[in-house]
Amino acid sequence: MLSDRQLERATAAQNRVQDKVNAAVRQGYLTRGMRDWALALCASDEAAFDTFCAKAGPSFAYLSQPAFGAQAFRQ
């Protein structure tokens, strides 16, 4: 029973790490190429990952934005 509880906690922690990293990628704090590094960092030191995101800011958010607005294609 104890091992089941430990497995549940480990799975929950892993899911939380994946959710945080995926959110950081979606919001532009990380690129997809940084995902493996971010997963390792967040799994080993979640506070350091949070600090990195807070200090880096969404530097890569522009990469997921369209280069031209819809207006440019209507002309």
Q: What is the pLDDT of residue 41?
A: 97
Is residue 41 in a domain? yes
Residues 6+ apart with CB under 8 A from 75: none
Q: What is the pLDDT of residue 72?
A: 54
Is residue 72 in a domain? no
Is residue 13 in a domain? yes
Number of domains in the chain: 1
Q: What is the pLDDT of residue 73?
A: 55
Is residue 52 in a domain? yes
The domain in which residue 25 lies consists of: 2-61
How confident is the prediction along the chain (75 residues), in pLDDT tens digits per residue?
778 888 899 899 999 999 999 999 999 999 999 999 999 999 999 999 999 999 988 888 777 766 676 555 555
Q: What is the pLDDT of residue 59?
A: 81
Is residue 40 in a domain? yes
Is residue 28 in a domain? yes
